[in-house]
Amino acid sequence: MKVVSVSKAHDGIQGVYTHASDACACDMTFAVFAPPQAKDGRVPVLWYLSGLTCTHANVMDKGEYRRMAAELGLMIVCPDTSPRGEGVPDEKDNWQFGCGAGFYLDATQQPFAKNYRMYSYLTEELPRLVAENFPADMARQSIFGHSMGGHGALTIALRDPERFKSCSAFAPIAQPMTAGWSRPALEKYLGPDEAAWRAYDATALIEDGRRFPEFLVDQGTADGFLQDGLRPWLLEDACGKAGIALTLRMQDGYDHSYNFISTFMDDHLRWHAARLAG
């Protein structure tokens, strides 16, 4: 692991790091905010997964999480959204696929299967790296994200409910199997058999018997992707049928941007902190 930068913030440390990833077969970058409480021992870990076109840097620069994370004693880990670099296959003119659009899955189709293994990276490799190099209490982990990252947070939590104390999302892609901006990517990464897609779709996972105790979802009513891409009512319906507690808050007048995310960031951090403490 190499240090790209470290900077003091709210008496904690915001760092950016790179390492050679076995899972993604390229160098990967991620960010960690260690709160001031980390000086005295291990602290809970909250994973933040970003959306399409983003890197680790978007939430660092616009998410406004450090003040509250420092107050609550939360370590915030912000991975990248996909593999990158020379030799990584990409569609440079397609922002919904390739670099910046890994969809938090393990691709099975060539030429993407070698690098696009974000599910394994986030559930196996990066947690080991964090545990080895930071004062992280890996017995207390939670996860949240935005848009594509909200989709990733929901599916990862549903597939490993014992690992995470809580899961929330800002404007998640509730059913990527049928959404216009994610369905083509799933087919390219996973092939034409839609049965293979269900492992990376929150509503399908719930329909197939996966469970998580509760979710918190915030969604802006002025989000331009609401009707065709996000459709939180599909998640609401699936959770209702499965008996999963879902708090879905439709936030009047908010869009899909980090202005929306930063407005409700403190709410989500407090919500996770309460469950990590328990």
Closest among 168, 62, 82, 64 to 122, alpha carbons compared: 82
3-state SS class at 38: helix
CA distance 115 to 226: 30
272 part of the active site: no
CA distance 235 to 224: 18
CA distance 149 to 107: 17
Catalytic residue among 168, 223, 268, 272: 223
CA distance 251 to 248: 9
Beta strand residue intervals within 72-196, DSSP E: 75-79, 136-146, 164-170
Q: How many residues are recorded in the chain?
A: 278
Please tell me the chain's helix, strand, coil percentages from 3-state DSSP, rounded to the nearest 5.
35, 25, 35
Catalytic residue among 151, 256, 268, 272: 256
Closest among 35, 34, 41 to 16, alpha carbons compared: 34
Catalytic residue among 147, 166, 168, 182: 147
CA distance 150 to 153: 5
| Active-site amino acid positions | 147, 223, 256
